[in-house]
Amino acid sequence: MKRVSIIGSGFAALTAIKTLRQSDIELEITVISPKAEFHYLPGSIWIPCNLRQPEDLIIPLHNFFQRMQVRHLKAKAVGTKNAGRTVLTSEGEVENDALIICSGGRFLKKLPGIEHAITPCEGIDATVEIRNRIMKMEGGTIAFGFSGNPKEPSAMRGGPMFEFLFGVDCQLRKDGRRNKFKLIFFTPSENPGQRLGPKAVKGLLKEMKQRDIETHLGDKMKQFTDHSVVTQGKEFHADLIIFMPGMTGNHWFDNTDLPRSEGGMIKANTHCQVEGMDKIYVAGDSGSFPGPEWLPKQAHMADLQAEAAAKNLIAEFKNQPATHTFKVELVCIVDSLNSGMLVARTKNLNIILPRMRIFHWLKRFFEWWYLRQYK
């Protein structure tokens, strides 16, 4: 029986488990993660507006692991040795015949004063804090922004920030409080949302203008204070700062001999194989993959990469070549609480459909459909 270790319990990890269990090979699968839980972060955009509560998005995985005959080790990965055949964890060492790394990424926190900002995609608790802070505010300025990793163009999450921005705007209007707040959007990019495609940039900026959202674009970030955002071009007041920095690799990668990209991610090929390593794969935010600059760091992409990684691993166990690749595509609905804009992009196509109520409900339906498999 082959031993497979999977690090993480997010989108990529769970898809890898399902794909491995579709094979006819007997596998002993060990999942290493701090909790046997799946956090559906795409739904966290609705927490500040009370459309979702934390318990709606935190899915216990005990039943799923039992169905999949998976052993869960409640621990943190802290490194590897023996060319990846041994995973070092906070609870001891785990031996394997193959390893799939799905541990996600880490947000860069080097900007001075970044402790004064809330990073929503760090987890459910962060979005709860945003909700609580806004509920206590009687008025003021809320600044929303994001930046990237200059050494890893794909290592950024801009899309959710537009959703938090439009969702908060919509909720404040619903509460009859919008006139008491000033909303500001900022980013070092002159064309925010360009990874979604040129049409999306125009649509997003038009949407901000219609919603009376002030923009500060194209100035490099310098620092945050407890009451302001400071860029090279200007400083503006903010009572609450919601900011998504660029991403890099996990700290524990430093305690391995895994090859790293310039931006700190694990280097992989189009088959999701870690370069120069035997039967070690990576999927999702942990990896640096060949592809266009707009290659997204999103759940859908993690699922596609994890499926390819698992299929290739099965092929290797059968002494067959790893030939499976992942489709490079971006698909998302930029939600604004009561409607949404559909964006799809491939190497040859870029589709932007205007804001419609049906897309909001489609996003909610997809959430229900996706989560039911793990309950």
Residue 103 has pLDDT above 90, yes or no: yes
- Structural domain count, the chain: 2
Strand partners, 235: 230
pLDDT digits (tens, 9 = 90+) for 9-38: 999 999 999 999 999 999 999 999 999 999
User: Helix, strand, or coil here: 128?
Assistant: helix
pLDDT digits (tens, 9 = 90+) for 242-297: 999 999 999 999 999 999 999 999 999 999 999 999 999 999 999 999 998 889 89
- Angle, nearest 10°, between helix axes 198-210 and 159-174? 20
| Cβ atoms of residues 142 and 183 within 8 Å | yes
Tell whether 258 and 217 lie within a shared domain. Answer: no
pLDDT of 333 reads: 95
Tell whether 92 and 142 lie within a shared domain. Answer: no
* CATH for 50: 3.50.50.60
pLDDT of 200 reads: 84
Specify if 344 maps to a domain.
no
Q: For 302, phi and psi rounded to 5 degrees?
A: -60, -40
Specify if 118 maps to a domain.
yes
Tell whether 156 and 37 lie within a shared domain. Answer: no
Overall residue count recorded for the chain in this entry: 375
Tell whether 114 and 241 lie within a shared domain. Answer: yes
Strand partners, 58: 39
State which of 246, 271, 306 marks the end of a domain.
246
Specify if 46 maps to a domain.
yes
Quick one: pLDDT band at residue 323, thresholds 50, 70, 90?
very high
State which of 246, 276, 293 marks the end of a domain.
246
Specify if 328 maps to a domain.
no
| Cβ atoms of residues 58 and 240 within 8 Å | no
pTM: 0.95
Q: Which two tokens stand for residue 25?
A: 């090979």
Taking Cα atoms as reference points, which of 78, 20, 63, 11 lies closest to residue 309? 20
HSE-up of residue 102 (Cα within 13 Å, Cβ side): 34
Q: Print the domain residue range for 167.
A: 110-246
Tell whether 258 and 288 lie within a shared domain. Answer: yes
Quick one: pLDDT band at residue 199, thresholds 50, 70, 90?
confident
Specify if 323 maps to a domain.
no
Tell whether 135 and 157 lie within a shared domain. Answer: yes
Specify if 352 maps to a domain.
no
Tell whether 66 and 171 lie within a shared domain. Answer: no
| For residues 45-64, average pLDDT | 97
